[in-house]
Structure 1
Amino acid sequence: MKENRLLAKWLNNDLSEDELAKFEASPDFKKYQKIKNYTAHLEVDDLDENVMLSNILSQKKATPKVIPLYKKWMFRAAAIFVLALGITFVTRSFLPETHTANFGEKNTFSLPDNSEVVLNSGSEIHYKKWNWDNNRHLELKGEAYFRVAKGRRFEVQTNLGKVAVLGTQFNVKARKNRFDVVCYEGRVKVNYANTQILLTHGQSVSFENGKQFSAVVNLSKPEWMDNQIAFYSENIKSLLDEVQRQYNITIELNAKDTTSLFTGKLPTQDLDIALQIISTTCHLKAKKVSKNKIIFDEK
């Protein structure tokens, strides 16, 4: 700090004789002397303040670009709209499409290739629209009737088995351990466990707990589409489960023997007649305990 003070006084020629002697004896004096001698030859033009001010004022000022506030909101709204369209496209194209039929309802809809599907009560279908024409694959829980447009291979996957066709009409039902497939037109290839079966017009096949049943069908579409449920060698529990789905009710069964099988038809729009047929055929007594609950007891 003291050396800096002496340097400042030396540059201004304000040092006393004693201070000058000490400063000249310092190790950096020769360096300071060279700098002083060099800068003494430098010349700086006089600053004309008036000319400088005139030059500044004469320069053309750039007018800042102002975007009205309403235009900013328009740009932002447009960006949000484009983003929303993109999200909607991705959602509709890549995410699975789901169709359901609640208890007591049916649901009819078309697939991207105009194939028609009718879902029976208590059923659900999942599929992807993206690249559908080249990958016609869907997953079924429950029962559905398909009228398939001609095209590439069409596959219906269930938890019990798979059905593959090209262009045809067929019905698939997968409930608990029961798997039923009926072919109404064309040909249907059924895969169940290690078994593969080819069905043609009027043929049906059923699998339950490893057992296989075959039958001939002389109809153009499933009975449930005409408000009837058809059963072939169906056990009483599965039969009552289907009645619950069709009528959206709760049924309680109080019976020791649940191994008897039922073959026949039940209406889906007249509960009293359906209960009467079940009672007579299975030797049970139906009792309505509320509007939506039925109890079956042994006779």
Structure 2
Amino acid sequence: MDEDYKLAKWLNNELTAEELAEFKQNPDFTLYEKIKENSARLKTPAFDQDKMLSNVVATKKATKVVKLQQNWFARIAAVLVIALGLSFFIVNNFKEKYYGTSLTQTVNLPDNSEVLVNKNSSIEYKTFFWKNNRTIDLKGEAYFKVAKGKTFEVNTNLGKVTVLGTQFNVNSKDNTFEVTCYEGKVKVNYKNHELILTKGMLVTFENDSKKEGKTTLSMPKWASDKMEMSFTNQNLKTIITDIENTYNVTIKTNTIATEQLFTGKLPSNNLDVALQIIASTYHLQINKSNETSFELVKK
């Protein structure tokens, strides 16, 4: 109860400097602060404290009961504020982020880890306390470049992969579960099997059978191919459409000729470079309206 009392005093800004310094050492203080901040946005029905107290006091001795009820009221109020604040905080911050697309897509996670999600695949993760709980649910196939930090886990319907700062590929489709390690070390769990993979090792489970192998590649072929777009005698209109689809942007070309042909390669992971290559090839200027809207015009 002492902890509840300090919490109530802190919510009412009644702690002394010494008590506040001690309270800040509480391991949950950061969470309390976030809850308090979000609770301030809540609107609750009007509450007549005096009326409630007078009804209670009518059956008790006024001097003693009022003091007791006020102390309990402070605690009850603290609990209500925490409960409402926690609900508000969870609803607005414990949201799942889902990426599923018919195109290969690069996803940057909160800790700067990078996931390249293959076509017709998806990942799902929670942003709330992500740094302390780096867990992703995967359907299909994805290539991971994990930033160093605490344990990083990838869950699928067939098995689980646990890593610490590495690059690896997970393919979980139908009855096949395949994991390839390109850098670092990963731990693979599949039913009753658990094994460690290091750089260049791979394992495939299919209908409960296990097959181990090796690779000399630095990343999966599908991910490597996706790093660039290759064109042979393609008109500019087709190329612009491909850039728009790859980067999910809009590029206006109303004032330029788009029948011109292009042969070459464009990066699929760097929009600025891709646009610069097109602009320099056809002597165009890039006008940027915002992060997703561009226009190509004659110089």
Scaled to the shorter chain, the TM-score interval is 0.3 to 0.5
Give the TM-score taking structure 1 as reference length.
Answer: 0.46
Give the TM-score taking structure 2 as reference length.
Answer: 0.46
